[in-house]
Chains A and B, each alone.
Chain A
Amino acid sequence: MKKGNEMLTRKRYTYIGYLYILPWIIGFLVLQLAPLINSFWYSFTNFQLLGDPKFLGLDNYKKIFTNDPTFLQSLKVTSYYVLIAVPLKLGFALLIAIILNQNIKGINFFRTLYYIPSILGGSVAISVLWKYLFMNQGIVNNLLSVVGIPATDWLGDPRYALGTISLVTVWQFGSSMLLFLAGLKQIPVSQYEAARIDGAGRLRIFAQITIPELSPIILFNLIMQMINAFQDFTSAFVITQGGPLKSTYLYGLMLYDQGFKFFKMGYSSALSWILFVIILFFTSLTFRSSESWVHYGDSL
């Protein structure tokens, strides 16, 4: 390792490195940076795909905040969704990872099984399946009726629809679980032993060793899951089409409708920038707060 470091410091600039990263540089400039700037510009126009965009100043934004009840509804629904789905998913992932980490026999079997929904979760097939499972005459109601619970309109009742959609997300806890599991494996056993000798109980070990040691991974998971959840689309689009009564009208659906159904590209761009700012706000808030709860140990 030391030898490698010396070599690194002695290394002079090798411009050939640019050649290797060239695909990304082009991709970044043409397919990420330019669109980002463009969408910012469109958000101040009435761009509608056909014809030249006309500059509107802040009109789009004004309309969104003062005269668009759908926006407020969608924002509300999306916030609920992120608040329900992300903590449940991560909490579940962490719990299962901890259980699996206690020298469970057949860990590979369980790990694989729990991971499968993460491979499939975003697909239309699963959305279709969910629709059938939670239909009025679907299997979920059938099962519940066996234990005497009356049939519930899981997808047709505005009180339950969003929760039913969130279940698809929570069901995919496997990917986060794998990361937690990898992190748990890195915690030195000696730390646990030392704590046990000091007479620490399970809960104290969890709070004072497991959580701090895992905190960088928790942070990573939290941020990535949050960014994704704010933009989720497929399940709400296929299962409920945003309904009933727009109770599952996630932000992604609104962006799609405005941009690709009504072709209000300018308006939709403004909406997407608002979402961007919201995501940025929560991401940086999480990063800020992480200074007080994320612990970067030597092992990482």
Chain B
Amino acid sequence: MIKSKKSVSRIISYIFLIVLAYVMVYPLLWMVGASFKSNQEIFGTLGLLPKSPVFGAFGAGWTGTGQYGFSTFLYNTFLMVIPTVLFTVISATLVGYGFARFDFPLKKVLFVTMLATMMLPATVIIIPRYIFFKRLGWLDTYLPFIVPAMLGCFPFFNFMMVQFFRGLPLEIDESGKLDGCNSFVILKDLLLPLCKSAIFSVIVFQFVWTWNDFMNVLIYISSVAKYPVALGLRMTMDISTEFDWNQIMAMSVISILPPVILFFAAQKYFVEGIATTGMKN
């Protein structure tokens, strides 16, 4: 009796999870389907699969109608995102190592300050930062994204690395010291190889956030030649007529592909990484 009751509730759970999964993914599937549909078909039918697939939308969107096509926007996004991610990894690793493995005066105060800045709303500092970058002549460049990454201005990632280093046994450092390694060699050769899951988490998060960032690119990037996909896509949407629906859907699909591919590639490490940071605070 108890067993059958249990299995009934289990079946209900599965049905619920499957229905939910379908509802969650439906918009995305619809988007992919729509990019292969003719414009008449997009809103006329309910089916996900196009009845008579059209392949022109990708090509047309890619070259674009104006001076700059989607290929430029995509290239720009990589130009902005890759250095930002790279420098975030480097700075977060250094800062995390510093806080996790060394003792120095005011360390507690500094650490608490860093944690507090995690809760500092970005909107409060956005105007002075804009003015500061303007004075430096950095408007319409990607420096407002890259330089904060160099300077560890993403406390969330610093904290993540601190937590991760704390989880690694001190004996590793001690053995390195006995072998005469200095602290940087210990970090580079002994600890870093063990940090894969944390580093992948930083990469995935920062890649996705910078890739999707809209408010900052809206503020800092003004010339169309430098638009990343977020701005390019919005511009295309604003200037397009209803005849370009499938093109816009096609470009939306392309613009979400890189984060999705990265997520799947790094998934294993990524989930591990989240679990470690989520737990140890």
Contacts and interface: CB of A to CB of B under 8 A. Distances in A.
A231 B279 CA distance: 26
B25 to A, nearest CB: 6
A273 B209 CA distance: 24
B54 interface: no
A178 B24 contact: no
Given A21-B98, A117-B24, A268 B91 contact: no
A288 interface: no
Interface string A120-132: 1111111011111
B246 to A, nearest CB: 11
Contact of A137 (B43, B148, B219): B43
A231 B153 CA distance: 18
Nearest to B228: A124
Interface stretch (A63-71, A83-91, A153-161, A254-262): A254-262
A99 B17 contact: yes
Given A21-B94, A96-B20, A217-B278, A252 B212 contact: no
Contacts of A255: 123, 126
A132 B123 contact: no
Contacts of A182: 274-275, 278-279
Contacts of B192: none
B104 A13 contact: yes
Contacts of B259: 119-120, 123
B237 interface: yes
A25 to B, nearest CB: 7
Given A117-B24, A183-B278, A259-B126, A128 B233 contact: yes
B183 interface: yes
A16 B102 contact: yes
A121 to B, nearest CB: 8
Contact of A18 (B98, B213, B229): B98
A142 B41 CA distance: 13
Interface residues of B, number: 96
Nearest to B207: A119
Nearest to B17: A110
Interface stretch (B59-67, B78-86, B107-115): B107-115
Nearest to A237: B214
Contacts of B267: 112
B21 A110 contact: yes
Nearest to B10: A102
B230 A38 contact: no
Contacts of A185: 275
B131 A119 contact: no
Contacts of B215: 233-234, 237, 252, 256
A113 interface: yes
Nearest to B148: A31
A4 interface: yes
Contacts of B197: none
A27 B132 CA distance: 13
Nearest to A181: B275
Given A17-B101, A35-B132, A119-B263, A7 B148 contact: no
Interface centre among B30, B128, B150, B255, by most chain A C-beta atoms within 10 angstroms, is B128
A188 to B, nearest CB: 14
Contacts of B46: 139, 142-143, 146
Given A16-B102, A96-B20, A233-B215, A279 B121 contact: yes
B277 to A, nearest CB: 9
Contact of A14 (B104, B117, B150, B171): B104
Which residue, B14, B169, B214, has most C-beta atoms of chain A within 10 A?
A: B214
Contacts of B245: 132
A7 B170 contact: yes
Nearest to A139: B30
Contacts of B16: 99
Given A112-B267, A178-B275, 16 more contacts: A12-B103, A20-B98, A21-B94, A23-B95, A24-B151, A27-B150, A36-B128, A39-B127, A116-B263, A125-B252, A146-B46, A220-B278, A259-B127, A269-B127, A279-B121, A300-B280
28 contacts: A20-B94, A20-B97, A20-B98, A21-B94, A21-B152, A26-B151, A32-B125, A35-B129, A49-B131, A99-B13, A110-B17, A113-B25, A114-B24, A119-B208, A120-B256, A125-B256, A131-B237, A139-B30, A146-B46, A178-B278, A185-B275, A227-B121, A231-B121, A237-B214, A256-B215, A259-B127, A272-B123, A275-B121
Interface of A: 3-4, 7-8, 11-21, 23-28, 30-32, 34-36, 38-39, 42, 49, 96, 99-100, 102, 104, 110-117, 119-126, 128-133, 135, 137-139, 142-143, 146, 171, 178-179, 182-183, 185-186, 216-217, 220, 223, 227, 230-231, 233-234, 237-238, 251-252, 255-256, 259-260, 265, 268-269, 272-273, 275-276, 279, 283, 300
Interface of B: 10, 13-14, 16-17, 20-21, 24-25, 27-28, 30-31, 34, 42-43, 46, 91, 94-95, 97-99, 101-105, 107, 110, 113-114, 117, 119-132, 134, 147-148, 150-153, 155, 158, 169-171, 174, 183, 208-209, 211-215, 218-219, 229-231, 233-234, 237, 245, 248-249, 251-253, 255-256, 259-260, 263-264, 267, 271, 274-275, 278-281
